[in-house]
Structure 1
Amino acid sequence: MMKCHSAYLACMAALLGTGLSATPAAAAHHTVVVHPGGSIQKAVNAARPGDTVLVLAGTFHESITVKTPGLTLRGVGRRTVIKPSTKKAAPHRRKGCLESGEGICVIGQRNSPVPNITISDLTVTGFSQDGLWSMATDHLIVQRVTATDNGRRGISQEHSTRGVFRDNTARDNRDAGLYLANTTKSKAGATDTHGTVIERNHLMGNRSGLTILRLRNLTITRNYLTGNCAGMFVVSDENKPKAGSLAISKNIVRQNNKYCAKIARLPFLQGSGIVLTGAENTVVTENLITGNSGKSPLSGGIVLFKSYVGAKNERNRISGNQLANNNPADLVNQEAAKSNNTFQGNSCQASKPTGLCSSNSHGSTRFGHNNRT
């Protein structure tokens, strides 16, 4: 028996020495480097699930579509710049990311979302629509992306779950800096994001810094919003379920006093901090909201606004926030006097109606923001 056992071990050692084993090794993940003058799209098309496309510093004039599960598209920081192509698409081509005027498109199928894609460390600027647009994704990570001067939105996502949007900068985009929705083209009740996280983003000079449209179950924390027409919108409408079950905490919302003209179903905007319209079961707590001033029906520090289609805010809790120098008031509740929204422990100077501020609530708020611009 000992001789047989020794022979078996020797045989196994010989097999392992030739690279054979009982379980095959996992396929290796590769990094494809794109140099200035190269094509990002060609590298993305050649990549396999789990690969990384690393784009070096330079300006790349193209639109990119990403559909590969597990792919990472990464630049080297703000020196990796993606701008619109100088070439016109052939008229017979099917409409895609380039033809739609988007910078980067991350696209899955509505009933089969593309999982685990990461977009990071680059700049998208000057596109006629969105700098980065995603549809039907699961656990998309967008981090350290700068989206500036785009004709619609900086960074946007629709019909997706478990997204992470962290440490991004969206500045001077014509619509929202950061925009998340169930879907934009058709009305429907709010959908569950299963825990999407929006944190430590800098949103400046947009129509709205952050817009959440008909979604549920998100965390929005430690973001810095300033210089927009409105800092943050949570929007629902007549459809059910409503937007809600959000946690909005520890954000700095300061001087969002840019003027934006009215659009369909929305008045002109100026001086809005955080606006809830048609939301439910949302907690707004420990935010610092200062200097938002205007004469729009939506102006004020924290505003609960009954939407024009009649959707009410219900069972929302506004607590422990620090507000100052917001006009027409720090807290504005336009719901009926007997609404079931609660205001508790907010340090502020004025409210509409009166009595929403807590005079005995004072103290400093430090959120540890990274104040990069």
Structure 2
Amino acid sequence: MAAGLGVLAPSSAAAGRRVHPGDSIQDAVNYARPGDTITVMPGTYYENVLITKRLTLRGYGARTVIRPPVTAVTPVAPVTPQAPGATGTPVAPGAAQAPAAQPPAKPATSTTPATSGRALACSQADTGICVMGTAEQPVVGVDIRSLTVSGFKRNGIWASYTDRLSVQRVISEKNGTWGIAQERSTRGLFRDNTARDNAESGLFIANTVDREGGATDTLGAVVRRNTLTGNRIGVTVRRVRNLSVYGNELTGNCGGIFVVGDEGEPGAGDMTIRNNRIHENNKFCKGNTRLPDIQGVGIVLTGAEQTVIRSNDIRGNVGASPLSGGILLFKSFVGATNTDNVIRDNVVRDNKPADLANQGTGTGNQFVNNRCASSVPAGMC
């Protein structure tokens, strides 16, 4: 009879927690055991969330929204798990739970677990969700899915020192820096997300952001089937190696995909960019100290090696920036060259000033069997 009613065994029931509007997501995260699933019910939650352990955080897509807190969160001492029946305690998936009172959305006043100063800084730095490990102990197996992070002064989702982070079916929009970003991390999976109208990159994967250094081996990170629109750059992969970017839709950004390296060792590259649809990324973004103006950019490689760009559909990217065009091997700002990259089997049409361009002094770059009309230098189509 218990099975017929959908009641799970106690060991299974302990894996589920629910958060309702008016509750704190951070409290549920703090009290969760490694491996727990936290389900955030439809509603708007005004808080920053810090994750430092393995768990699943999932919502209801556009119906579960995390927005900046009304007032700054002040961390207090760590807490011990609360008694059964309190907010955020385990429930069996599918089991009934008395609804929490739902006053008007309030700023989070949750506790913050004891962790590194770096993690604390991230949790209070105007970022929606921070996933923070350390060099000695990366956080492994965090899964974030089916929720929205919107309007943060810095990032929607930020991860550092993680392994096997999974971010799926997340909407990250209107954030002041990156939509979804990761550094110092390996084997990340970013799939079926929407990153739109973020001030910098919709998706950003880097070795580090606070110092120079050779490229990080991501051990096979995957950026797949995401929709990226209205950002400064759709996808940026900076000083990393060994990953794939495929099946994504990029349109209406200032630039589509940037692969950025420098003179550090090991070099950036050894990646595959394939089967992406990169159309009309013609929004204008003013340049800064690192880059010129950006407009009409399909794919740019600068300081990259052994990267394969194949079977992409790249059309209508038009601008007057030094970076404008369909696929561009750009001369590095720090003297690094593009070497041994392969650009093949792409449809590259109606991009200006050219569909294909090879600048700089790099060697071993191949342009093979691309369907295009114009190239610099001539003869690559």
**TM-score after normalising by structure 2:** 0.84
Structure 1 match to 2:290: 265
The one-letter code matched in structure 1 to 2:39 is L
Alignment of 1:1-373 (within 5 A): 29-69=14-54, 71-90=55-74, 95-336=120-361, 339-357=363-381
Q: Which structure's relative contact order is higher, taking Cα pairs within 8 Å and 6+ residues apart? A: 2
Q: Percent identity?
A: 52
SS of 1:65's equivalent in the other structure is: strand
SS of 1:307's equivalent in the other structure is: coil
Measure, in 1, the Cα distance between the counterparts of 2:237 and 2:252: 18
Alpha-carbon contact 2:195-2:228 (below 8 Å) kept:
yes
Measure, in 2, the Cα distance between the counterparts of 1:248 and 1:31: 38
The one-letter code matched in structure 2 to 1:322 is V
Say if 1:202 and 1:282 are closer, same or farther in 2 by CA, change over 3 A: same
Structure 2: unaligned runs, 5 residues or longer: 1-9, 77-111
SS of 1:78's equivalent in the other structure is: helix
SS of 2:29's equivalent in the other structure is: helix
The one-letter code matched in structure 2 to 1:178 is L
Measure, in 1, the Cα distance between the counterparts of 2:135 and 2:154: 21
Alpha-carbon contact 2:123-2:130 (below 8 Å) kept:
no
TM-superposed deviation, 1:306: 1.3
Structure 2 match to 1:7: none
Alpha-carbon contact 2:344-2:367 (below 8 Å) kept:
yes
Corresponding pairs, count: 331
Superposed CA deviations along residues 25-44 of structure 1, whole A, max 9, x for unmatched, are 98875110001111000001
TM-superposed deviation, 1:274: 0.4
SS of 1:329's equivalent in the other structure is: coil
TM-superposed deviation, 1:50: 1.0
Superposed CA deviations along residues 49-93 of structure 1, whole A, max 9, x for unmatched, are 111000000000000001112x00000111000000002234999
Structure 1 match to 2:86: none
Superposed CA deviations along residues 222-273 of structure 1, whole A, max 9, x for unmatched, are 0000111110100001211111100110000000011111111211100110
The one-letter code matched in structure 2 to 1:347 is R
Alpha-carbon contact 1:162-1:197 (below 8 Å) kept:
yes
Alpha-carbon contact 1:97-1:103 (below 8 Å) kept:
no
Measure, in 2, the Cα distance between the counterparts of 1:88 and 1:115: 28
Structure 1: unaligned runs, 5 residues or longer: 1-24, 358-373
SS of 1:41's equivalent in the other structure is: helix
